[in-house]
């Protein structure tokens, strides 16, 4: 019984902690996406409740459904010129505008859209 | 998606067709592009920059132009222009037609120097010839004021940049064109990305103007800066924005760029100085 309780507590804490981490990733991802010095995705994409959105990229909606493979989404943000050599979208990862880690957080956020 | 494919095709067409094309052929492709992109804009209206395609900001701009913020600059420029140098000569002695109504002749290819020459350079050339120190090319001041006055006396004149049949002149034009179409900086944009392919679209609240008619209204008074800004300072502004290292004002890269951009604006009226956000 005691062991069961302890396991349950540990599991519970782990779960909470895990969820907490993801929630903060999402939060941070949103900040990175909106920050003019970081992703500045709003310059070109309509996103969520972002104000003064640009319109030269497609609206970022239904992301999980449209990009079930995270790697594809990652590649588009890391280096869009791979898919479209003349892409208007900056190669955020390749040119060191944002880090791998930051892109992953942005992706967590995009998956909530 | 379709429009993206069209864009790519257009870019490919631009590079391929113009790889061996003459400046005149470039001009035709360039104009055609804007005609298709903005069928409701009269060619002559491109001298008004972004206001030629964005009616919502145009009204506000027109009311600013009713009481132009650059009026004092024109007056100061006129006074500086007419004040004799220590040796008794004046600027008028250095220029064709006493320097009046000649903005539209710039930039030109100087076959002796084998370089593109701008109005600002000739202003300093004139000072040097008369034993005066050159003026700074930065932060507005006397250079921008004189340039604004000289543009003002040229309002209504039509830009007609000629490219002499001289290898060096064609090279200068080609280098300007190449810079215009090359992606640069950490953010990886070319001038053409914003001012040709995405002109008219929104970048947050900014709309990049068409890449035709830019040199007609410089120097321009920018309310955000609270002063006149020369064309080369504006180039630097856009390069900074894409996190590329800007060149020095009046160096060869910018003069060649100005040569290309002004040739692309042939047929438009000088309406400088202008006012902008």
pLDDT in tens, B188-218: 999 999 999 999 999 998 999 999 999 999 9
Segment B106-133 mean pLDDT: 98
Chain B residues contacting A via beta carbons under 8 Å: 4, 7-8, 11, 186-189, 193, 197-198, 201-205
pLDDT at B15: 52
Alpha carbon distance B201, B31 (integer Å): 18
Segment B220-234 mean pLDDT: 97
Taking a C-beta distance cutoff of 8 angstroms, is the pair B244, B184 a contact? Answer: yes
Q: What is the DSSP string of B107-159?
A: SEEETTTTEEE-HHHHHHHHHHHTT-PPPPSSSSHHHHHHHHHHHHTTTTPBP
Q: What pLDDT digit, counting tens, does each position of B44-78 carry?
A: 999 999 999 999 999 999 999 999 999 999 999 99
Q: Which one is predicted more confidently, A59 or B15? A: A59
pLDDT at A22: 84
- Residue ranges of the alpha helices (H) in chain A? 2-34, 63-66, 70-78, 100-110
Backbone torsion region of residue B226, taken as left when φ is above 0, otherwise alpha when ψ lies between -120 and 50, otherwise beta: left
How close, in Å, is residue B12 to chain A by CA atoms?
9
Which domains occur in chain A, in start order? 3-110 (1.10.760.10)
Alpha carbon distance B59, B199 (integer Å): 20
pLDDT at B18: 47
Taking a C-beta distance cutoff of 8 angstroms, is the pair B80, B142 a contact? Answer: yes
pLDDT category, B99, cuts 50, 70, 90? very high
Query: Is a pLDDT exceeding 70 seen at residue A14?
Result: no
pLDDT at B178: 97
Contacts of residue B197 in chain A, CB cutoff 8 Å? 88
By mean pLDDT, which of A61-65, B19-23, B95-99 is the weakest?
B19-23
Q: What pLDDT digit, counting tens, does each position of B126-178 carry?
A: 999 999 999 999 999 999 999 999 999 999 999 999 999 999 999 999 999 99
Contacts of residue A84 in chain B, CB cutoff 8 Å? 4, 8
Contacts of residue A47 in chain B, CB cutoff 8 Å? none
Query: Is a pLDDT exceeding 70 seen at residue A8?
Result: no
pLDDT at B16: 47
Mean pLDDT of chain A: 89
pLDDT at B162: 94
Query: Is a pLDDT exceeding 50 seen at residue B237?
Result: yes
- Interface A:B, Cβ pairs < 8 A: 39
Q: Which one is predicted more confidently, B12 or B136? A: B136
Whether residues B8 and A96 touch (CB distance < 8 A) is answered with no
Alpha carbon distance B181, B49 (integer Å): 19
Mean pLDDT of chain B: 93
Segment B105-115 mean pLDDT: 97
DSSP state of B53: T
Query: Is a pLDDT exceeding 60 seen at residue A51?
Result: yes
Instruction: Pick one of 3.40.50.300, 1.10.760.10, 1.10.357.10, 1.10.10.10 as the CATH number of B71-152.
Output: 1.10.760.10
Query: Is a pLDDT exceeding 80 seen at residue B7?
Result: no
- Tokens of residue B66, six digits: 């009713």
Taking a C-beta distance cutoff of 8 angstroms, is the pair B117, B110 a contact? Answer: yes
Query: Is a pLDDT exceeding 60 seen at residue B26?
Result: yes
pLDDT category, B19, cuts 50, 70, 90? low
Segment A82-95 mean pLDDT: 96
Whether residues A97 and B203 touch (CB distance < 8 A) is answered with no
CATH 1.10.760.10 in chain B is located at 2-68+164-276, 71-152
pLDDT category, B2, cuts 50, 70, 90? very low
How close, in Å, is residue A24 to chain B by CA atoms?
26
Q: What pLDDT digit, counting tens, does each position of B257-275 carry?
A: 999 999 999 999 999 999 9
pLDDT category, B1, cuts 50, 70, 90? very low
Alpha carbon distance A70, A42 (integer Å): 21
The residues of B that are catalytic are 238
Segment A20-28 mean pLDDT: 83
Alpha carbon distance B70, B256 (integer Å): 27
Whether residues B186 and A97 touch (CB distance < 8 A) is answered with yes
Query: Is a pLDDT exceeding 90 seen at residue A36?
Result: yes
Strands (E), B181-263: 220-222, 227-229
pLDDT at A5: 72
CATH superfamily ID and name for B2-68+164-276: Cytochrome c-like domain (1.10.760.10)
Contacts of residue B11 in chain A, CB cutoff 8 Å? 86
Q: List CB contacts of B144: < 8 A, sequence separation 6 or more.
A: B73, B219, B227, B228, B229, B230
pLDDT category, A17, cuts 50, 70, 90? low
How close, in Å, is residue B6 to chain A by CA atoms?
12
pLDDT at A1: 54
pLDDT at B274: 97
What backbone phi and psi angles, to 5 degrees, belong to B265?
Answer: -105, 10
Paired residues of B206 in beta bridges: B203
């Amino acid at each position: 019984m005691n062991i069961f309780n302890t396991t349950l507590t540990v599991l519970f804490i782990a779960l909470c902690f895990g969820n907490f981490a993801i929630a903060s990733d999402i939060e941070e991802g949103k900040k990175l996406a909106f920050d003019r010095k970081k992703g500045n995705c709003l310059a070109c994409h309509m996103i969520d409740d972002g104000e003064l959105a640009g319109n030269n990229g497609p609206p970022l909606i239904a992301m999980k459904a449209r990009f079930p493979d995270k790697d594809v989404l990652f590649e588009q943000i890391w280096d869009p010129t791979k898919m479209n050599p003349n892409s208007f979208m900056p190669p955020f990862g390749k040119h060191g505008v944002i880090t791998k880690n930051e892109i992953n957080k942005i992706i967590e956020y995009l998956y909530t859209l | 998606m379709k429009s993206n494919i069209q864009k790519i095709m257009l870019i490919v067409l631009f590079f391929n067709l113009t790889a061996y094309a003459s400046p005149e052929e470039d001009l035709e492709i360039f104009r055609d592009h804007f005609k298709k992109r903005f069928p409701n804009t009269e060619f002559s209206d491109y001298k008004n920059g972004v206001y030629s395609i964005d009616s919502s900001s145009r009204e506000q701009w027109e009311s600013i132009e009713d009481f132009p913020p650059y009026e004092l600059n024109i007056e100061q420029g006129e006074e500086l222009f007419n004040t004799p140098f220590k040796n008794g000569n004046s600027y008028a002695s250095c220029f064709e037609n006493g320097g009046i109504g000649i903005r539209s002749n710039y930039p030109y290819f100087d076959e002796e120097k084998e370089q593109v020459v701008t109005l600002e350079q000739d202003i300093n050339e004139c000072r040097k010839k008369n034993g005066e120190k050159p003026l700074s090319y930065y932060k507005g001041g006397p250079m921008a004021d004189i340039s604004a006055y000289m543009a003002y006396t040229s309002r209504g004149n039509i830009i007609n940049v000629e490219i002499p049949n001289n290898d060096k002149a064609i090279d200068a034009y080609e280098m300007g064109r190449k810079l215009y179409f090359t992606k640069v900086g950490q953010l990886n944009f070319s001038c053409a990305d914003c001012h040709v392919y995405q002109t008219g679209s929104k970048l947050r609240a900014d709309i990049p103007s068409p890449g035709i008619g830019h040199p007609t209204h410089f120097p321009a008074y920018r309310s955000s800066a609270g002063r006149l800004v020369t064309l080369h300072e504006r180039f630097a502004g856009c390069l900074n924005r894409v996190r590329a290292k800007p060149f020095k004002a009046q160096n060869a890269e910018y003069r060649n760029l100005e040569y290309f951009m002004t040739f692309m604006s042939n047929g438009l009226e000088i309406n400088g100085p202008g006012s902008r956000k």
